[in-house]
Amino acid sequence: MTKNLVIVESPAKAKTIEGFLGKEYTVKSSYGHVRDLNKNTLSVNIEKDFEPEYEISDDKKALVAELKKLSNQAQTIWLASDEDREGESISWHLYEALDLKNKDTKRIVFHEITKTAILNAIENPRTIDMDLVAAQQARRVLDRLVGYELSPLLWKKVKPSLSAGRVQSVAVRLIVEREEEIKNFQQTSSYRVTAQFSFIQNGQEHTIAAEMPTRFDTEKEARAFVESCIDANYKVENIEKKPASRYPAPPFTTSTLQQEAARKLGFSVANTMRLAQQLYESGKITYMRTDSVNLSSLALGMAKKEITENYGAEYVKTRQYQTKTKGAQEAHEAIRPTYLDQHTIKGTADERRLYELIWKRTIASQMADAQLERTNVNIGISSSDKKFTATGEVILFDGFLKVYMESYDDDRAEDKMSVLPPIEVGMNLDLEKMEAQQRYTRHPLRYTEASLVKKMEELGIGRPSTYAPTISTIQKREYVTRGDIPGVTQTFNVITLKNNKITEKTGKENYGAEKGKLLPTDIGVLVNRFLLQYFENIIDYNFTANVEKEFDQISEGQRAWNKMIKDFYGVFHKQVVSTTENSGKFSGEKLLGVDPATGKNVYVKVGRFGPVAQIGDTESEEKPRFAGLRKDQSIDSITLEEVLKLFEFPRILGQFEDKEVSVSVGRFGPYVKHNNTFYSLAKTDNPATIDIERAIEIIGEKRQKDVENTILTFENDPEMKVLNGRFGPYVSYKKKNYRIAKDVDPKSLTYDDCLKLVEADPKAAPKKAAPKRKTTTKKK
């Protein structure tokens, strides 16, 4: 018999809290939301004031039943989900789904998982804040209306299975527009002049590197300047020393953790989150989905002690950080180690590296500023008014730099502190070498996963729990791919003055190479163009920020949620209807030219199966011919010549085992076909140039692999096979697959066993390709 039932969102949290509360309390987890709108229908009743039709999610039915049983036995039910919009809503949905009674139910909140905080929360219960619940409902309904009205429009006008939404469509827009910026970027160049000087002090030679702050726009000007320096004298005119300090970065939020783990450890956003989840579940770090930079008083105390013991009291500076993030809800602490005295942990190499990063960042955030002395030296030229400057930086006190320094996305030098030699005002310097080098302006960098998250956070779109899933969605929809840009070789001029002689030469550099960047696809570009044309208001960068203001008003009780939705939907739905009726197919069709062989028009466009080339007109009597574009080709840049090559498939390569071998390009990439069997080409193979020898090699490799993956075959029926696949052994029969129970040794199966499995298949109905996720079965 449970006296008190406490419900939190996460099981790891439940475990910790149960320890604080003693045996009068049972602590359970709701595992997030327990109810939601049905996945297969709109589930928003527009006629009835946008009433949402909630249902208990399939995977939560057993859990809700268990919680209901426990709550029936308990005297008091404590709803302890997070103190933000979603958390409040989770409490309300629990209240509804568990059929709770007002007098037995108490709503409590806490921001840190400590015994005092929990006990304090228990002392100060409140009721569910229905205004906040209404704000969440508005958010949920708005997202559903936008997503479930825009996506079907895309299926109709652009391509099936596409999706659009308040968050993902803006993320795609950012990537598409960055690419356009890069395409339209006008490169310019200028000449930067650097010099190396030397002097002798107490019989010792010193060198000093300097730069001229002004740049020359043209080669002519640069050369004229360098020439004017022949026979010139150089003199130290003044030295200025200035103190400077540097501050540590605030503790990690989800977004900054993802960024730093990408920069310092090379982790993908999804990988970082998986590792962080591991660390959280094993109690090593605090909650990893947070937008807060706040540390609990307990953590501040631990940090102070740790820093004092390891580095000394002068390294301590306790700080409370304030969030700068728009719309931050701050239901949790920042991400930090649970115990700061654990500098390292046991675990996999990646877990340890991520933990150490979190530890360093947390500790550094509570350490003293670094004190520096920056020195600027001006060097005069006897033949010119222009000056060279040399800068040096000396660390007087390292402070937090002893532990950690944040990285940046661009290639700015993170650690270019240089110590200047013992230089004095009035000193004459010898010129060792002067160089005027042509430097090009650089286009903005493409987004990485992590820098996209940063940008999304700045715009206030998405939440810590959705950054990683959103990035995966826009890649799954093939709006965006991750890839490398090789860059181009570019030449630059260098004018050198040495020993009073001028030489000029050209050098080479690689420009614009980028690795692991997010690149828009043809489909991404097209969908973005569609949305921009018909729904600019929805993919406006300020749309989320604006509706968030309205959600805030709802949560403050100043506005009715369904009134807000009504105002929005009135405009939005009209757009949907008018676009449905007035716009035709949106395929991005482009006429490339005329096929010299037939005289027919050649087009490229986005078809039902992706980017496709077409010879002949759709309306003509004779059916047009189609050929899919390769993954490395794009509608934007492909030439007529390249398109015509695509129609040269299938290419007959020759004979092998008395059967024809051909190569072609299909939906899943280039393949070799032999005896009605398909063999995928390796990434390194080019279907346009592949020869029969290599094709036979590929066939051999595939056969070898098949043999390795074949567990059993049967002489009486070659169609029946026991194979080893991604999910372990399975039975394959007549192109369909059947699972084998876990406790059965696949090697021991007889032909009859297999046939039984096939016949016992519950899905007798001819359903193609089972859905990836469980679909909710809604009965009417």
Partner DNA sequence: CAGTGAGCGAGCTTCCGCTTGACTT
User: Which positions are annotated as active-site residues?
Assistant: 287
**Given the complex with DNA, which of 491 and 676 has the nearer CB atom?**
676
**Given the complex with DNA, which of 379 and 615 has the nearer CB atom?**
615
Indicate which single residue of 250, 524, 670, 746 sits in contact with DNA (rule: CB under 7 A). 670
3-state secondary structure of 398: coil
Taking CB under 7 A as the rule, which mask of x and - marks residues 270-289 in contact with DNA?
-------x--xx-----x-x
Assess 726 for contact with DNA (CB under 7 A): yes
Assess 408 for contact with DNA (CB under 7 A): no
Six-digit token string for 213:
């702050």
Strand partners, 239: 377
Residues 323-382 that bind DNA (CB under 7 A): 329
* Stretch of residues binding DNA (CB under 7 A), selected from 333-341, 368-376, 398-406, 736-744: 736-744
Residue written as tokens 């770090």?
285
**Given the complex with DNA, which of 451 and 587 has the nearer CB atom?**
587
Output phi, psi for 16, to 5 deg. Answer: -60, -50
- Residue ranges of E strands in 562-615: 590-594, 601-607, 610-615
State the nearest-atom distance from the C-beta of 774 to DNA, in Å.
8
Residues 110-129 that bind DNA (CB under 7 A): none
Distance from C-alpha of 269 to C-alpha of 130, rounded to nearest angstrom: 35
Assess 462 for contact with DNA (CB under 7 A): yes
Assess 294 for contact with DNA (CB under 7 A): no
Q: Please, where are the H alpha helices in 384-426? A: none
Residues 9-48 that bind DNA (CB under 7 A): 9-13, 29, 31-33, 36-37, 39-41
* Stretch of residues binding DNA (CB under 7 A), selected from 47-55, 296-304, 470-478, 518-526: 470-478
Indicate which single residue of 375, 737, 755, 758 sits in contact with DNA (rule: CB under 7 A). 737
Distance from C-alpha of 154 to C-alpha of 152, rounded to nearest angstrom: 5
Distance from C-alpha of 127 to C-alpha of 102, rounded to nearest angstrom: 9
Output phi, psi for 338, to 5 deg. Answer: -65, -45
**Given the complex with DNA, which of 15 and 264 has the nearer CB atom?**
15
Assess 52 for contact with DNA (CB under 7 A): no
Residues 601-630 that bind DNA (CB under 7 A): 607-610, 612, 626-628
* Stretch of residues binding DNA (CB under 7 A), selected from 353-361, 427-435, 510-518, 661-669: 661-669
Number of residues assigned to the chain: 780
Residues 682-711 that bind DNA (CB under 7 A): 702, 705-706, 709
Residues 147-166 that bind DNA (CB under 7 A): 147-148, 151-152, 155, 160-166
Task: Give me Rg for the CA atoms of the chain.
Answer: 33
Helix 130-157 and helix 561-582, axial crossing angle in degrees, nearest 10: 0
**Given the complex with DNA, which of 23 and 667 has the nearer CB atom?**
667
**Given the complex with DNA, which of 86 and 449 has the nearer CB atom?**
86
* Stretch of residues binding DNA (CB under 7 A), selected from 194-202, 210-218, 468-476, 637-645: 468-476
What angle is formed at CA 409 by the lines to CA 407 and CA 412, rounded to 5 degrees? 75
Assess 470 for contact with DNA (CB under 7 A): yes
Torsion-angle region of 223 (φ positive above 0: left; ψ -120 to 50: alpha; else: beta): alpha
Assess 507 for contact with DNA (CB under 7 A): no
Q: Is 780 exposed, middle or buried (0-12, 13-18, 19+ CB in 10 A)?
A: exposed
C-alpha closest to that of 93 among 145, 140, 125: 140
Taking CB under 7 A as the rule, which mask of x and - marks residues 197-236 in contact with DNA?
----------------------------------------
Q: CA separation (Å) from 235 to 210, 215, 496, 566?
A: 12, 21, 20, 74
Six-digit token string for 774:
């469980």
Distance from C-alpha of 691 to C-alpha of 520, rounded to nearest angstrom: 33
**Given the complex with DNA, which of 400 and 679 has the nearer CB atom?**
679
Indicate which single residue of 284, 361, 463, 517 sits in contact with DNA (rule: CB under 7 A). 463
State the nearest-atom distance from the C-beta of 138 to DNA, in Å.
12
Residues 6+ apart with CB under 8 A from 337: 284, 285, 286, 355, 358, 359, 362
Taking CB under 7 A as the rule, which mask of x and - marks residues 556-595 in contact with DNA?
----------------------------------------
C-alpha closest to that of 97 among 1, 4, 7: 7
State the nearest-atom distance from the C-beta of 737 to DNA, in Å.
4
In angstroms, how far is CA 741 from the centroid of its own chain?
A: 37
- Residue ranges of E strands in 145-203: 189-201
**Given the complex with DNA, which of 466 and 481 has the nearer CB atom?**
466
**Given the complex with DNA, which of 12 and 405 has the nearer CB atom?**
12
State the nearest-atom distance from the C-beta of 123 to DNA, in Å.
24
Six-digit token string for 314:
């002068």
Residues 64-103 that bind DNA (CB under 7 A): 82, 84-86, 90
Q: Residue count at the site for DNA (CB under 7 A)? A: 91
